[in-house]
Structure 1
Amino acid sequence: MIKKIYVLILMMVLLITGCNSNTNQHNATEPKMKTVPEQSNVRNLDQSRGNIRVLNTEVDNYYKEAVGKTGAELKQILHEIISKQDVIDYRGQQMWDALGDTDQDPNDPSKVMLLYAGRSVSKSNHGSQWNKEHVWAQYHGEFGRTRGIGSDLHNLKPEDPDVNRDRGHRNFDESADDYNGNRAPDTKWDADSWEPRDEVKGDIARIILYMDTRYEDTDRMDLKVVDSSPMDNSEPQHGKLSTLLKWHEEDPVDDFERRRNNVIFEKYQHNRNPFIDHPEWVAEVYNK
Protein backbone atom coordinates (compact mmCIF):
# COMPACT_ATOMS: atom_id res chain seq x y z
CA MET A 1 0.00 0.00 0.00
CA ILE A 2 2.77 2.38 0.96
CA LYS A 3 4.59 1.48 -2.23
CA LYS A 4 1.52 2.33 -4.33
CA ILE A 5 1.14 5.67 -2.55
CA TYR A 6 4.83 6.45 -3.22
CA VAL A 7 4.48 5.62 -6.93
CA LEU A 8 1.34 7.79 -7.16
CA ILE A 9 3.14 10.78 -5.55
CA LEU A 10 6.13 10.31 -7.86
CA MET A 11 3.88 10.34 -10.94
CA MET A 12 2.17 13.52 -9.74
CA VAL A 13 5.54 15.22 -9.23
CA LEU A 14 6.69 14.24 -12.71
CA LEU A 15 3.43 15.49 -14.19
CA ILE A 16 3.70 18.88 -12.48
CA THR A 17 7.37 19.27 -13.44
CA GLY A 18 6.61 18.45 -17.05
CA CYS A 19 3.87 21.06 -17.19
CA ASN A 20 6.21 23.75 -15.84
CA SER A 21 8.88 22.70 -18.32
CA ASN A 22 6.48 23.04 -21.25
CA THR A 23 5.31 26.42 -20.02
CA ASN A 24 8.88 27.73 -19.84
CA GLN A 25 9.66 26.39 -23.27
CA HIS A 26 6.60 28.14 -24.69
CA ASN A 27 7.63 31.42 -23.10
CA ALA A 28 11.15 31.09 -24.47
CA THR A 29 9.98 30.64 -28.02
CA GLU A 30 7.15 33.20 -27.94
CA PRO A 31 8.01 36.27 -30.04
CA LYS A 32 9.00 39.26 -27.92
CA MET A 33 7.92 42.82 -28.58
CA LYS A 34 10.78 44.58 -30.39
CA THR A 35 11.90 47.96 -29.22
CA VAL A 36 12.25 50.16 -32.28
CA PRO A 37 15.13 52.57 -31.85
CA GLU A 38 14.02 56.18 -31.98
CA GLN A 39 15.03 57.65 -35.32
CA SER A 40 16.57 61.10 -35.24
CA ASN A 41 14.68 63.68 -37.25
CA VAL A 42 17.59 66.08 -37.08
CA ARG A 43 20.75 64.63 -38.58
CA ASN A 44 22.07 61.38 -39.96
CA LEU A 45 25.34 60.21 -41.46
CA ASP A 46 25.56 60.05 -45.22
CA GLN A 47 28.36 57.53 -45.67
CA SER A 48 28.53 58.14 -49.42
CA ARG A 49 29.96 61.63 -48.90
CA GLY A 50 31.40 61.31 -45.43
CA ASN A 51 29.53 64.46 -44.43
CA ILE A 52 26.84 65.10 -41.89
CA ARG A 53 23.73 66.34 -43.63
CA VAL A 54 20.23 67.08 -42.47
CA LEU A 55 17.71 64.34 -43.21
CA ASN A 56 13.98 63.89 -42.65
CA THR A 57 13.43 67.44 -41.45
CA GLU A 58 11.97 70.67 -42.74
CA VAL A 59 15.39 71.23 -44.34
CA ASP A 60 14.77 68.42 -46.82
CA ASN A 61 11.44 70.03 -47.57
CA TYR A 62 13.21 73.37 -47.98
CA TYR A 63 15.14 72.01 -50.97
CA LYS A 64 12.46 69.73 -52.40
CA GLU A 65 12.13 71.72 -55.66
CA ALA A 66 15.87 71.38 -56.31
CA VAL A 67 16.08 67.61 -56.04
CA GLY A 68 17.18 66.00 -59.29
CA LYS A 69 18.09 69.28 -60.99
CA THR A 70 21.52 70.13 -62.39
CA GLY A 71 23.46 73.00 -63.93
CA ALA A 72 21.78 76.32 -64.64
CA GLU A 73 18.36 74.95 -63.75
CA LEU A 74 19.58 73.89 -60.30
CA LYS A 75 21.19 77.28 -59.71
CA GLN A 76 18.02 79.13 -60.69
CA ILE A 77 15.86 77.05 -58.35
CA LEU A 78 18.32 77.49 -55.49
CA HIS A 79 18.27 81.23 -56.14
CA GLU A 80 14.50 81.26 -55.84
CA ILE A 81 14.58 79.19 -52.65
CA ILE A 82 17.23 81.14 -50.75
CA SER A 83 15.98 84.57 -51.87
CA LYS A 84 13.09 84.26 -49.42
CA GLN A 85 14.69 85.72 -46.30
CA ASP A 86 14.21 88.19 -43.51
CA VAL A 87 16.44 91.27 -43.59
CA ILE A 88 18.56 92.50 -40.69
CA ASP A 89 19.74 96.08 -40.22
CA TYR A 90 23.53 96.23 -40.64
CA ARG A 91 23.89 99.05 -38.13
CA GLY A 92 21.59 97.75 -35.41
CA GLN A 93 22.46 95.90 -32.21
CA GLN A 94 20.74 92.83 -33.59
CA MET A 95 23.56 92.41 -36.12
CA TRP A 96 26.23 92.41 -33.41
CA ASP A 97 24.19 89.93 -31.38
CA ALA A 98 23.60 87.73 -34.41
CA LEU A 99 27.31 87.53 -35.32
CA GLY A 100 28.14 86.77 -31.72
CA ASP A 101 25.68 83.92 -31.97
CA THR A 102 26.55 82.54 -35.41
CA ASP A 103 30.32 82.57 -34.85
CA GLN A 104 30.38 81.74 -31.16
CA ASP A 105 33.55 80.08 -29.87
CA PRO A 106 32.61 76.39 -29.38
CA ASN A 107 34.74 76.31 -26.23
CA ASP A 108 33.58 79.59 -24.69
CA PRO A 109 30.08 80.99 -25.29
CA SER A 110 31.17 84.44 -24.14
CA LYS A 111 33.56 84.75 -27.10
CA VAL A 112 33.39 84.92 -30.88
CA MET A 113 35.75 83.37 -33.46
CA LEU A 114 37.55 85.65 -35.92
CA LEU A 115 37.59 84.42 -39.50
CA TYR A 116 41.09 85.20 -40.76
CA ALA A 117 42.84 85.74 -37.43
CA GLY A 118 41.65 82.40 -36.09
CA ARG A 119 41.46 83.51 -32.47
CA SER A 120 38.52 84.17 -30.18
CA VAL A 121 37.71 87.48 -28.48
CA SER A 122 34.99 88.69 -26.17
CA LYS A 123 31.60 89.16 -27.81
CA SER A 124 31.14 92.38 -25.89
CA ASN A 125 34.27 93.96 -27.41
CA HIS A 126 32.72 94.50 -30.83
CA GLY A 127 33.93 97.62 -32.54
CA SER A 128 37.30 97.50 -30.82
CA GLN A 129 38.56 93.89 -30.91
CA TRP A 130 36.35 92.82 -33.79
CA ASN A 131 34.10 94.24 -36.47
CA LYS A 132 32.10 92.99 -39.49
CA GLU A 133 33.91 91.61 -42.50
CA HIS A 134 32.10 91.36 -45.83
CA VAL A 135 33.53 88.16 -47.32
CA TRP A 136 32.18 89.16 -50.74
CA ALA A 137 33.79 92.59 -50.46
CA GLN A 138 31.15 95.33 -50.59
CA TYR A 139 33.26 97.25 -53.11
CA HIS A 140 32.74 94.48 -55.68
CA GLY A 141 29.46 95.98 -56.79
CA GLU A 142 29.53 99.01 -54.49
CA PHE A 143 26.54 97.76 -52.52
CA GLY A 144 28.03 99.06 -49.27
CA ARG A 145 25.94 98.33 -46.20
CA THR A 146 22.61 98.30 -47.97
CA ARG A 147 19.88 96.42 -46.15
CA GLY A 148 19.70 92.96 -47.65
CA ILE A 149 22.73 92.42 -49.85
CA GLY A 150 24.98 94.52 -47.62
CA SER A 151 23.65 93.04 -44.39
CA ASP A 152 23.32 89.37 -45.37
CA LEU A 153 24.50 87.33 -42.39
CA HIS A 154 25.75 84.53 -44.62
CA ASN A 155 28.32 86.99 -46.01
CA LEU A 156 29.31 88.70 -42.75
CA LYS A 157 31.95 87.36 -40.37
CA PRO A 158 33.64 88.72 -37.23
CA GLU A 159 37.20 89.92 -37.85
CA ASP A 160 40.05 91.87 -36.30
CA PRO A 161 39.55 95.47 -37.49
CA ASP A 162 43.13 95.84 -38.73
CA VAL A 163 43.01 92.55 -40.63
CA ASN A 164 39.64 93.52 -42.09
CA ARG A 165 41.12 96.81 -43.29
CA ASP A 166 44.20 95.13 -44.80
CA ARG A 167 42.17 92.55 -46.68
CA GLY A 168 40.24 95.44 -48.22
CA HIS A 169 38.57 94.26 -51.42
CA ARG A 170 41.24 91.81 -52.54
CA ASN A 171 40.00 88.75 -54.36
CA PHE A 172 40.52 85.26 -52.97
CA ASP A 173 43.38 83.45 -54.64
CA GLU A 174 46.77 81.89 -53.95
CA SER A 175 49.03 84.75 -52.91
CA ALA A 176 52.76 85.40 -52.96
CA ASP A 177 53.67 87.11 -49.70
CA ASP A 178 53.24 86.31 -46.03
CA TYR A 179 50.86 88.57 -44.16
CA ASN A 180 51.35 89.76 -40.56
CA GLY A 181 51.60 86.46 -38.69
CA ASN A 182 50.83 88.06 -35.34
CA ARG A 183 47.42 89.23 -36.50
CA ALA A 184 46.44 86.45 -38.92
CA PRO A 185 48.73 83.41 -38.88
CA ASP A 186 49.18 81.37 -42.07
CA THR A 187 47.63 84.13 -44.18
CA LYS A 188 49.18 85.42 -47.42
CA TRP A 189 48.50 88.42 -49.63
CA ASP A 190 49.72 90.41 -52.59
CA ALA A 191 48.54 93.38 -54.64
CA ASP A 192 45.21 91.89 -55.73
CA SER A 193 44.68 88.68 -53.77
CA TRP A 194 44.14 87.35 -50.26
CA GLU A 195 44.85 83.75 -49.22
CA PRO A 196 43.47 82.85 -45.76
CA ARG A 197 44.54 80.03 -43.49
CA ASP A 198 43.70 76.53 -44.70
CA GLU A 199 41.06 75.92 -42.01
CA VAL A 200 38.62 78.45 -43.51
CA LYS A 201 39.33 78.30 -47.24
CA GLY A 202 36.33 76.08 -47.90
CA ASP A 203 34.11 78.25 -45.68
CA ILE A 204 35.03 81.29 -47.74
CA ALA A 205 34.48 79.48 -51.04
CA ARG A 206 30.97 78.42 -50.02
CA ILE A 207 30.11 81.96 -48.88
CA ILE A 208 31.21 83.45 -52.21
CA LEU A 209 29.24 80.82 -54.15
CA TYR A 210 26.19 81.50 -51.96
CA MET A 211 26.41 85.22 -52.80
CA ASP A 212 26.77 84.48 -56.51
CA THR A 213 23.64 82.30 -56.37
CA ARG A 214 21.57 84.41 -53.97
CA TYR A 215 22.15 87.73 -55.76
CA GLU A 216 22.13 86.51 -59.33
CA ASP A 217 20.11 88.86 -61.53
CA THR A 218 18.19 90.48 -58.69
CA ASP A 219 16.41 93.80 -59.02
CA ARG A 220 19.22 95.44 -57.09
CA MET A 221 22.39 93.61 -58.13
CA ASP A 222 23.72 90.80 -60.33
CA LEU A 223 26.76 89.37 -58.59
CA LYS A 224 29.05 87.08 -60.56
CA VAL A 225 31.94 84.94 -59.38
CA VAL A 226 34.57 84.96 -62.15
CA ASP A 227 37.82 83.17 -62.89
CA SER A 228 39.93 86.29 -62.65
CA SER A 229 40.86 88.91 -60.06
CA PRO A 230 38.87 92.05 -60.87
CA MET A 231 39.87 95.05 -58.79
CA ASP A 232 37.50 97.59 -60.36
CA ASN A 233 34.98 98.09 -57.56
CA SER A 234 32.31 99.31 -59.96
CA GLU A 235 31.87 95.77 -61.32
CA PRO A 236 29.82 93.30 -59.24
CA GLN A 237 32.36 90.53 -59.85
CA HIS A 238 34.52 88.55 -57.44
CA GLY A 239 37.27 86.02 -57.94
CA LYS A 240 38.83 83.67 -58.32
CA LEU A 241 36.43 80.88 -59.23
CA SER A 242 38.90 78.09 -60.03
CA THR A 243 40.75 78.70 -56.76
CA LEU A 244 37.53 78.79 -54.76
CA LEU A 245 36.38 75.48 -56.27
CA LYS A 246 39.73 73.98 -55.30
CA TRP A 247 39.41 75.30 -51.76
CA HIS A 248 35.88 73.91 -51.52
CA GLU A 249 37.24 70.41 -52.22
CA GLU A 250 40.28 70.71 -50.00
CA ASP A 251 38.44 72.09 -46.94
CA PRO A 252 35.13 70.19 -46.55
CA VAL A 253 32.13 71.43 -44.58
CA ASP A 254 32.65 71.17 -40.82
CA ASP A 255 30.45 71.36 -37.72
CA PHE A 256 31.17 75.07 -37.20
CA GLU A 257 29.73 75.87 -40.64
CA ARG A 258 26.74 73.59 -40.12
CA ARG A 259 25.87 75.19 -36.80
CA ARG A 260 26.26 78.68 -38.28
CA ASN A 261 23.98 77.82 -41.19
CA ASN A 262 21.36 76.43 -38.81
CA VAL A 263 21.46 79.48 -36.52
CA ILE A 264 21.01 81.90 -39.43
CA PHE A 265 18.12 79.82 -40.72
CA GLU A 266 16.34 79.19 -37.44
CA LYS A 267 16.81 82.50 -35.63
CA TYR A 268 17.56 85.31 -38.04
CA GLN A 269 17.17 85.29 -41.84
CA HIS A 270 15.32 81.99 -42.29
CA ASN A 271 17.29 81.09 -45.40
CA ARG A 272 20.18 78.70 -45.85
CA ASN A 273 23.48 78.32 -47.69
CA PRO A 274 22.77 75.33 -49.95
CA PHE A 275 26.45 74.61 -50.54
CA ILE A 276 26.86 73.82 -46.85
CA ASP A 277 23.84 71.50 -46.77
CA HIS A 278 24.68 69.90 -50.12
CA PRO A 279 28.40 70.32 -50.95
CA GLU A 280 27.93 68.12 -54.00
CA TRP A 281 25.81 70.86 -55.58
CA VAL A 282 28.93 72.98 -56.10
CA ALA A 283 30.06 70.61 -58.84
CA GLU A 284 26.53 70.38 -60.23
CA VAL A 285 26.27 74.17 -60.57
CA TYR A 286 29.81 75.32 -61.34
CA ASN A 287 31.42 72.43 -63.19
CA LYS A 288 28.67 72.01 -65.77
Structure 2
Amino acid sequence: MNTKKHLISLIALLITTFALVAHADTLNFRKAKKELQKVYSDNQISFYCGCTFSSQLKAGSKTKKRLTPDWDSCGYTPRKQPNRASRIEWEHVMPAHHFGQHMQCWRDGGRKVCKKDNVFKEMEGDMHNLVPAIGEVNGDRSNFKYGMIENESRVYGSCDAEVDFKGKRFEPSPSVRGDIARTYFYMSERYNVRLSKQQRQLLSAWDKLDPVDDWERTKNKRIESIQGNSNPFIQ
Protein backbone atom coordinates (compact mmCIF):
# COMPACT_ATOMS: atom_id res chain seq x y z
CA MET A 1 0.00 0.00 0.00
CA ASN A 2 2.81 2.37 0.92
CA THR A 3 4.60 1.48 -2.31
CA LYS A 4 1.47 2.27 -4.32
CA LYS A 5 1.07 5.66 -2.64
CA HIS A 6 4.73 6.41 -3.23
CA LEU A 7 4.38 5.54 -6.91
CA ILE A 8 1.32 7.77 -7.30
CA SER A 9 3.14 10.65 -5.61
CA LEU A 10 6.16 10.14 -7.84
CA ILE A 11 4.03 10.16 -11.00
CA ALA A 12 2.28 13.35 -9.86
CA LEU A 13 5.64 14.98 -9.18
CA LEU A 14 6.95 14.02 -12.62
CA ILE A 15 3.84 15.40 -14.33
CA THR A 16 4.15 18.68 -12.42
CA THR A 17 7.85 18.94 -13.19
CA PHE A 18 7.29 18.23 -16.88
CA ALA A 19 4.58 20.90 -17.07
CA LEU A 20 6.78 23.42 -15.30
CA VAL A 21 9.71 22.75 -17.62
CA ALA A 22 7.53 23.11 -20.71
CA HIS A 23 5.95 26.28 -19.37
CA ALA A 24 9.32 27.82 -18.49
CA ASP A 25 10.60 27.04 -21.96
CA THR A 26 7.81 29.04 -23.60
CA LEU A 27 7.77 31.95 -21.15
CA ASN A 28 11.40 32.84 -20.53
CA PHE A 29 12.43 36.47 -20.06
CA ARG A 30 13.36 37.06 -23.71
CA LYS A 31 10.06 35.77 -25.07
CA ALA A 32 8.05 37.45 -22.34
CA LYS A 33 9.41 40.85 -23.33
CA LYS A 34 8.20 40.36 -26.89
CA GLU A 35 4.75 39.27 -25.76
CA LEU A 36 4.49 42.24 -23.41
CA GLN A 37 4.82 44.65 -26.31
CA LYS A 38 1.50 43.22 -27.54
CA VAL A 39 -0.04 43.53 -24.09
CA TYR A 40 0.90 47.22 -23.90
CA SER A 41 0.24 48.04 -27.58
CA ASP A 42 -2.60 50.46 -26.76
CA ASN A 43 -1.32 51.63 -23.38
CA GLN A 44 2.30 52.60 -23.97
CA ILE A 45 2.96 54.39 -20.70
CA SER A 46 6.01 53.83 -18.52
CA PHE A 47 5.33 52.43 -15.06
CA TYR A 48 7.11 54.74 -12.63
CA CYS A 49 7.07 58.05 -14.48
CA GLY A 50 3.98 57.90 -16.69
CA CYS A 51 5.87 58.78 -19.88
CA THR A 52 4.39 57.74 -23.20
CA PHE A 53 6.66 55.59 -25.36
CA SER A 54 6.76 54.20 -28.88
CA SER A 55 8.80 51.91 -31.10
CA GLN A 56 11.44 53.85 -33.03
CA LEU A 57 14.49 53.07 -35.10
CA LYS A 58 17.74 52.90 -33.17
CA ALA A 59 20.19 55.67 -33.96
CA GLY A 60 22.26 54.72 -36.99
CA SER A 61 20.10 51.71 -37.87
CA LYS A 62 17.70 51.27 -40.76
CA THR A 63 15.96 48.19 -39.40
CA LYS A 64 16.48 47.72 -35.65
CA LYS A 65 13.93 49.33 -33.36
CA ARG A 66 13.61 49.93 -29.65
CA LEU A 67 10.97 51.30 -27.32
CA THR A 68 11.69 54.98 -26.74
CA PRO A 69 10.11 57.21 -24.07
CA ASP A 70 8.91 60.75 -24.77
CA TRP A 71 10.45 62.75 -21.94
CA ASP A 72 8.31 65.80 -22.67
CA SER A 73 5.13 63.81 -22.12
CA CYS A 74 5.91 63.46 -18.41
CA GLY A 75 8.50 66.14 -17.73
CA TYR A 76 11.31 63.62 -17.38
CA THR A 77 14.88 64.87 -16.92
CA PRO A 78 17.75 62.37 -16.92
CA ARG A 79 19.58 62.18 -13.60
CA LYS A 80 22.91 60.96 -14.92
CA GLN A 81 22.48 58.54 -17.85
CA PRO A 82 20.69 60.14 -20.82
CA ASN A 83 21.54 57.22 -23.10
CA ARG A 84 19.92 54.63 -20.86
CA ALA A 85 17.09 57.05 -20.14
CA SER A 86 16.32 57.12 -23.86
CA ARG A 87 15.04 53.54 -23.89
CA ILE A 88 12.32 51.52 -22.23
CA GLU A 89 13.34 48.39 -20.35
CA TRP A 90 11.22 45.65 -18.81
CA GLU A 91 11.56 45.97 -15.07
CA HIS A 92 10.98 43.19 -12.55
CA VAL A 93 8.68 44.67 -9.91
CA MET A 94 9.93 42.04 -7.49
CA PRO A 95 13.65 42.02 -8.34
CA ALA A 96 15.30 38.82 -9.54
CA HIS A 97 17.59 39.11 -6.53
CA HIS A 98 14.59 38.90 -4.20
CA PHE A 99 13.03 35.78 -5.68
CA GLY A 100 16.34 34.23 -6.71
CA GLN A 101 18.21 34.44 -3.41
CA HIS A 102 16.01 31.72 -1.92
CA MET A 103 17.11 29.25 -4.59
CA GLN A 104 20.12 26.92 -4.55
CA CYS A 105 21.26 28.06 -7.99
CA TRP A 106 21.55 31.64 -6.70
CA ARG A 107 23.67 30.50 -3.77
CA ASP A 108 25.83 28.57 -6.24
CA GLY A 109 26.59 31.56 -8.43
CA GLY A 110 23.82 34.14 -8.59
CA ARG A 111 21.77 35.01 -11.65
CA LYS A 112 24.33 33.58 -14.06
CA VAL A 113 23.92 30.08 -12.66
CA CYS A 114 20.15 30.47 -12.19
CA LYS A 115 19.79 31.22 -15.91
CA LYS A 116 20.08 27.46 -16.41
CA ASP A 117 17.38 26.65 -13.84
CA ASN A 118 13.90 26.08 -15.33
CA VAL A 119 12.04 27.28 -12.24
CA PHE A 120 14.06 30.49 -12.14
CA LYS A 121 13.49 31.03 -15.87
CA GLU A 122 9.75 30.80 -15.33
CA MET A 123 9.91 33.32 -12.49
CA GLU A 124 12.15 35.65 -14.47
CA GLY A 125 9.78 35.54 -17.44
CA ASP A 126 6.52 35.83 -15.50
CA MET A 127 4.74 38.70 -17.24
CA HIS A 128 2.71 39.58 -14.16
CA ASN A 129 5.97 40.76 -12.58
CA LEU A 130 7.21 42.81 -15.56
CA VAL A 131 6.47 46.45 -16.34
CA PRO A 132 7.86 48.99 -18.85
CA ALA A 133 10.21 51.47 -17.19
CA ILE A 134 12.63 54.15 -18.34
CA GLY A 135 16.02 52.46 -18.45
CA GLU A 136 17.77 54.90 -16.15
CA VAL A 137 15.07 54.51 -13.48
CA ASN A 138 15.21 50.74 -13.83
CA GLY A 139 18.98 50.83 -13.35
CA ASP A 140 18.81 53.18 -10.38
CA ARG A 141 16.13 51.13 -8.67
CA SER A 142 18.36 48.05 -9.03
CA ASN A 143 17.25 45.52 -6.41
CA PHE A 144 16.37 48.19 -3.82
CA LYS A 145 13.33 47.55 -1.64
CA TYR A 146 10.28 49.75 -2.02
CA GLY A 147 9.57 52.09 0.84
CA MET A 148 8.93 55.64 1.94
CA ILE A 149 11.75 58.18 1.74
CA GLU A 150 11.59 61.29 3.89
CA ASN A 151 12.71 64.65 2.48
CA GLU A 152 14.28 63.08 -0.60
CA SER A 153 14.46 65.36 -3.62
CA ARG A 154 13.16 64.27 -7.00
CA VAL A 155 16.02 63.56 -9.37
CA TYR A 156 14.10 62.76 -12.57
CA GLY A 157 12.43 66.10 -13.22
CA SER A 158 8.66 65.88 -12.76
CA CYS A 159 8.70 62.10 -12.44
CA ASP A 160 7.28 61.21 -9.03
CA ALA A 161 9.88 58.58 -8.12
CA GLU A 162 12.54 58.94 -5.46
CA VAL A 163 15.64 56.92 -4.75
CA ASP A 164 17.86 56.69 -1.68
CA PHE A 165 21.11 55.16 -2.89
CA LYS A 166 22.70 55.09 0.54
CA GLY A 167 19.71 53.44 2.19
CA LYS A 168 19.02 51.26 -0.87
CA ARG A 169 15.36 52.23 -1.01
CA PHE A 170 13.04 53.30 -3.81
CA GLU A 171 9.79 55.24 -3.39
CA PRO A 172 7.32 54.91 -6.30
CA SER A 173 4.48 57.21 -7.21
CA PRO A 174 1.24 56.71 -5.22
CA SER A 175 -0.50 55.86 -8.51
CA VAL A 176 1.36 52.54 -8.86
CA ARG A 177 1.84 51.47 -5.25
CA GLY A 178 -1.20 49.22 -5.29
CA ASP A 179 -0.01 47.61 -8.52
CA ILE A 180 3.31 46.88 -6.82
CA ALA A 181 1.62 45.42 -3.74
CA ARG A 182 -0.57 43.06 -5.77
CA THR A 183 2.43 41.95 -7.83
CA TYR A 184 4.42 41.13 -4.69
CA PHE A 185 1.51 39.18 -3.20
CA TYR A 186 1.18 37.25 -6.46
CA MET A 187 4.87 36.37 -6.65
CA SER A 188 4.95 35.40 -2.98
CA GLU A 189 1.97 33.07 -3.30
CA ARG A 190 2.78 31.53 -6.67
CA TYR A 191 6.46 30.86 -6.03
CA ASN A 192 6.52 30.68 -2.24
CA VAL A 193 8.74 33.76 -1.95
CA ARG A 194 9.07 34.96 1.62
CA LEU A 195 7.99 38.50 2.51
CA SER A 196 8.92 40.06 5.82
CA LYS A 197 6.24 41.23 8.24
CA GLN A 198 7.30 44.84 7.61
CA GLN A 199 6.99 44.37 3.84
CA ARG A 200 3.55 42.85 4.13
CA GLN A 201 2.33 45.70 6.34
CA LEU A 202 3.54 48.34 3.88
CA LEU A 203 2.19 46.49 0.83
CA SER A 204 -1.18 45.86 2.47
CA ALA A 205 -1.51 49.60 3.10
CA TRP A 206 -0.56 50.37 -0.51
CA ASP A 207 -3.07 47.82 -1.78
CA LYS A 208 -5.89 49.62 0.03
CA LEU A 209 -4.78 53.16 -0.82
CA ASP A 210 -4.36 52.42 -4.54
CA PRO A 211 -7.16 50.03 -5.60
CA VAL A 212 -7.28 48.07 -8.86
CA ASP A 213 -8.08 50.17 -11.92
CA ASP A 214 -9.44 49.27 -15.38
CA TRP A 215 -6.04 49.05 -17.06
CA GLU A 216 -4.74 46.67 -14.39
CA ARG A 217 -7.72 44.40 -15.02
CA THR A 218 -7.26 44.56 -18.78
CA LYS A 219 -3.55 43.81 -18.52
CA ASN A 220 -4.25 40.89 -16.19
CA LYS A 221 -6.67 39.33 -18.68
CA ARG A 222 -4.30 39.80 -21.60
CA ILE A 223 -1.40 38.20 -19.75
CA GLU A 224 -3.64 35.32 -18.70
CA SER A 225 -4.54 34.68 -22.35
CA ILE A 226 -0.83 34.41 -23.21
CA GLN A 227 0.74 32.98 -20.07
CA GLY A 228 -2.13 30.79 -18.93
CA ASN A 229 -2.69 32.18 -15.43
CA SER A 230 -3.99 35.35 -13.83
CA ASN A 231 -3.01 37.37 -10.80
CA PRO A 232 -5.74 36.45 -8.27
CA PHE A 233 -5.12 39.64 -6.30
CA ILE A 234 -6.51 41.69 -9.18
CA GLN A 235 -10.30 41.63 -8.98
Note whether the superposition's TM-score is higher than 0.5: yes
Letter of the 2:52 partner, please give it. Answer: S
Q: Give 2:169's aligned residue.
A: 193
Q: Give 1:245's aligned residue.
A: 204
Q: Look up the SS of the partner of 1:139 in the other structure.
A: helix
**Aligned-CA RMSD value:** 2.4
Task: Report the Cα distance in structure 2 between the residues aligned to 1:105 and 1:202, rounded to whole angstroms.
Answer: 22
Contact 2:186–2:232 (8 Å) recurs in 1? yes
**Max Rg structure:** 1
Deviates more, 1:201-210 or 1:97-106: 97-106
Contact 2:178–2:209 (8 Å) recurs in 1? yes
Task: Report the Cα distance in structure 2 between the residues aligned to 1:197 and 1:162, rounded to whole angstroms.
Answer: 16
Q: Give 1:168's aligned residue.
A: 142
Task: Report the Cα distance in structure 2 between the residues aligned to 1:264 and 1:118, rounded to whole angstroms.
Answer: 21
Contact 2:28–2:124 (8 Å) recurs in 1? no
Letter of the 1:121 partner, please give it. Answer: F
Task: Report the Cα distance in structure 2 between the residues aligned to 1:255 and 1:134, rounded to whole angstroms.
Answer: 21
User: How far apart are residue 189 of structure 1 and its match?
Assistant: 2.4
Q: Give 1:256's aligned residue.
A: 215
Task: Report the Cα distance in structure 1 between the residues aligned to 2:67 and 2:29, rounded to whole angstroms.
Answer: 14
Q: Look up the SS of the partner of 1:224 in the other structure.
A: coil
| Identity value in percent | 31
Query: Deviations for 1:1-36, whole angstroms, at most 9, x for unmatched residues?
Result: xxxxxxxxxxxxxxxxxxxxxxxxxxxxxxxxxxxx
Contact 1:155–1:207 (8 Å) recurs in 2? yes
Contact 1:129–1:161 (8 Å) recurs in 2? yes
Contact 2:140–2:163 (8 Å) recurs in 1? no
User: How far apart are residue 105 of structure 1 and its match?
Assistant: 4.2
Q: Give 1:122's aligned residue.
A: 54
Alignment of 1:1-288 (within 5 A): 86-87=23-24, 88-91=27-30, 94-106=31-43, 112-123=44-55, 124-126=65-67, 129-140=87-98, 141-142=100-101, 144=111, 146-176=120-150, 177-182=152-157, 185-190=159-164, 191-216=167-192, 223-228=193-198, 240-266=199-225, 268-277=226-235
Task: Report the Cα distance in structure 1 between the residues aligned to 2:42 and 2:137, rounded to whole angstroms.
Answer: 19
Task: Report the Cα distance in structure 2 between the residues aligned to 1:103 and 1:244, rounded to whole angstroms.
Answer: 25
User: How far apart are residue 181 of structure 1 and its match?
Assistant: 3.0
Contact 2:48–2:160 (8 Å) recurs in 1? no
Task: Report the Cα distance in structure 1 between the residues aligned to 2:231 and 2:216, rounded to whole angstroms.
Answer: 10
Point out the structure with the larger helix share. Answer: 2
Contact 1:179–1:187 (8 Å) recurs in 2? yes
Q: Unmatched 5+ residue regions in structure 2?
A: 1-15, 56-64, 69-85
